[in-house]
Structure 1
Amino acid sequence: MGKVVHAGIYPHPPIIVPEVGGKEAEKVSATVDAMEEMARRVKGSGADTLVVISPHGPVFRDAVAMLAESTLSGSLARFGAPNVELKYHNDKHLLEAIEVEADRAGIRTAKITERKATAYGVQAVLDHGAMVPLYFLHKEGVRMPMVHITFGMLPAKQLFAFGQIIGKVLQRINRRAAVVISGDLSHRLTEDAPGGYSPDGQEFDRKLVDLLSDYDVPAVLSINHSLLESAGECGYRSILIGLGILDGKAVQPEILSYEGTFGVGYLVADLTPGVARKKEQTTPGESEHVRLARKTLETFVREKEIIPPPQDTPLRKEKAGVFVSLKIDGQLRGCIGTIEPVQKNLAEEIIENAISAGFYDPRFKPVTEEELPRLEYSVDVLSEPEEVSGPNDLDPKKYGVIVQSGGRKGLLLPDLEGVETVEHQLSIALQKAGISPGEKYSIYRFHVKRHSQGA
């Protein structure tokens, strides 16, 4: 059965290749030793294909690039070592399967042939981000087909989702993959560093290494963008894809080495998974409420099963009305909720409404498995409604509103895009309830605690 049999983070400074660096390579001997050890591990892993993620191939703003020629070749000629040349067969079946699955998930890919490379003004060759790790693998006798991927300038969650797609495809087409995550860390560690000095360089490297050591994936995915920019790194997006590939797998990281000798952070880390965990997706910044809604809907879509509420969670000790909202690319994809609690506890309320939002919102068709990686979730926990005397007690940014006349009732959540005034908020709520503005009706307001991705 297909799976990831090796995964690791590999730096790519050409200076660690003896034909390029000569004696200078001795200054980063720990990195060289670690790369050689990683190559031995790949050799003994039983892998039958390589997945190489590099930051130095063709980079597009809105797409992930994949080299598409049948033979993938490159050299270190521009670093003074023209004799260091490598060639690998492209795993075209894996490449095309990734392309199809990514397209279904709404993530664009760009297959780079020689012809397209000329049109784009790029090169369809193995860049040094791939060549340096491959040098050590080739030296150890690793010979197998590969795919070469260069991340696009996409949001973190999309790069992570793209990695999840690769992991899914590896299983489906029965590949035993060694995943090479190529990336250097900060380029601003010292005054003479390639990018100049920034104190954020050391802060970024320390933070990333610590988070990877703890395998705190949500925290890695949520690293502040300004810190990334200030650190001048080139490995973070490769790592996002790699972590996506490993999602749902039991990983106990091993940091083999870290050096910053030349003002650039070089990290070698083994992330090879062990026994797989239960299938559960990870998304940056998720609260427990959102995580439960996501797991509920994904399990129901894939396995047609309703998960039990988690045993050890404070959500079992609360009761409240809950709305679960789903969006894709900012557009509503489903929203169902309860004004007051109808389940035994908050966990069960979230589970029930997550399934309803995905399957039983009458405005939409049921959510499909192909849509799951693109869904954005929010869970709104409602306070107990309180009756108010009139519109002067409302604020559409602060309060949700309920209008009621007899058995007709309409609700609108607070802080909705495009709803700026009390009049507009009441108008929508009345329309939803089927109450005309001239009728007599009661008004209630409520607070909402909103749990969403990244919040």
Structure 2
Amino acid sequence: MYPFAYACITPHGGEIVPELAGDNPERMQETRKSMEVLGDRMKAAYPDAIIVITPHGTRINGQFSVTECETVSGFWQENNLTYHMERKIDREIAGSIVASAKETGLPVGGLNFGTASGPLSSLPLDWGAIVPLRFMPAVPVVIITPSREVSLDKNLELGKILRRVARESNKRIGLIASCDWSHTHNPDGPYGFHHAAKELDEKVIGLVKSNQLEEMADFDSKLIEDAKPDGIWQTLILAGAIPYEERKVTFLSYEAPTYFGLLCAGYEKE
């Protein structure tokens, strides 16, 4: 039984957000249009909550982190413009994920701040969540951040936990794997240029289109280091949450208009 209202792989480049596009809205226009499509499909699925897997949230070395506070809020800036967002956390779903992961022996920590509950119980919301959520319905969220110190196979296992929690919940749950890809496409970018960027992103496009997401766990470590993607871990969690036989993929777009790759794909019941 397909457990999610809707699921997708999204990028999180700040200029995708229309309010942050500045004087060059054409630069990520293809991706922005695809994000509007994904957002419309998520809205049409009427989720009660959305799980966002982001590489840029609060990290715990050697553990998956799951927000269990009351709210998250944050902002992102591009082109001297600022976009702010606040969301409630679905603490029931977050708590179920943490408890289920601990039962299976996965390294996981539940995050809170200030007070156990109430208005002071709040954590920052990162751009890896803010950007895709800009296009999604304004429902409660759960923010999950993987750790690079955890083996890739455990990301698949955490995905299975998300699947179990979604199936056992009486809520309609959306799922977002927030992923930018290789960060070495442009010599003027902060990580410089490496030919591995094109190689890795072409492999990713092929695996997304062919629905073979699990094969990203076999990527060569040097290729990953040279290309510097930040999407493999989140994608493997999504792959664990939605098995191959249940994944119906709609590939929407890929582009690398600056120094990093942007990919949009949606998943619904086969």
Asked whether the two chains share a fold, i.e. TM above 0.5, the reply is: yes
- CA distance 1:74–1:166, shift in 2 (3 Å): same
Q: In 2, Cα distance between the equivalents of 1:214 and 1:256?
A: 13
- CA distance 1:36–1:187, shift in 2 (3 Å): same
What SS is found at the alignment partner of 2:100?
helix
Amino acid at match of 1:65: S
Which residue among 168, 179, 199 is the counterpart of 2:175? Answer: 179
Residues 7-406 of structure 1 correspond to what in structure 2 (within 5 A)?
A: 7-77=7-77, 80-82=80-82, 84-115=83-114, 124-137=123-136, 142-153=137-148, 154-247=150-243, 249-274=245-270
Q: In 2, Cα distance between the equivalents of 1:202 and 1:273?
A: 31
Q: In 1, Cα distance between the equivalents of 2:134 and 2:212?
A: 30
Cα shift at 1:78? 7.6
Amino acid at match of 2:45: S
Aligned residues, how many?
Answer: 263
Residues 378-400 of structure 1 show CA distances to partners (whole Å, capped at 9, x for unaligned) of xxxxxxxxxxxxxxxxxxxxxxx
What SS is found at the alignment partner of 1:258?
strand
- CA distance 1:199–1:49, shift in 2 (3 Å): same
Residues 66-125 of structure 1 show CA distances to partners (whole Å, capped at 9, x for unaligned) of 12211122222587434x222222111111111111001111222222249xxxxxx921
The normalised TM-score by structure 2 is 0.91
Cα shift at 1:2? 8.1
The CA RMSD measured in Å over matched residues stands at 1.9
- CA distance 1:190–1:111, shift in 2 (3 Å): same
Amino acid at match of 1:17: V
Q: In 2, Cα distance between the equivalents of 1:143 and 1:2?
A: 23
Work out whether residues 73 and 125 of structure 1, in 8 Å CA contact, stay in contact via their aligned partners in 2.
Answer: yes
Residues 213-252 of structure 1 show CA distances to partners (whole Å, capped at 9, x for unaligned) of 1011342222222211111111111111111111265212
Residues 165-208 of structure 1 show CA distances to partners (whole Å, capped at 9, x for unaligned) of 11011111233211111010000112223311111110000001
Amino acid at match of 1:96: G
The normalised TM-score by structure 1 is 0.55
Q: In 2, Cα distance between the equivalents of 1:33 and 1:94?
A: 30
Q: In 1, Cα distance between the equivalents of 2:213 and 2:261?
A: 20
Amino acid at match of 2:125: L
Work out whether residues 2 and 175 of structure 1, in 8 Å CA contact, stay in contact via their aligned partners in 2.
Answer: no
Q: In 2, Cα distance between the equivalents of 1:214 and 1:133?
A: 24
Amino acid at match of 1:193: G
Q: Once the two structures are aligned, what percentage of the paired residues are identical?
A: 27
Larger Rg: 1
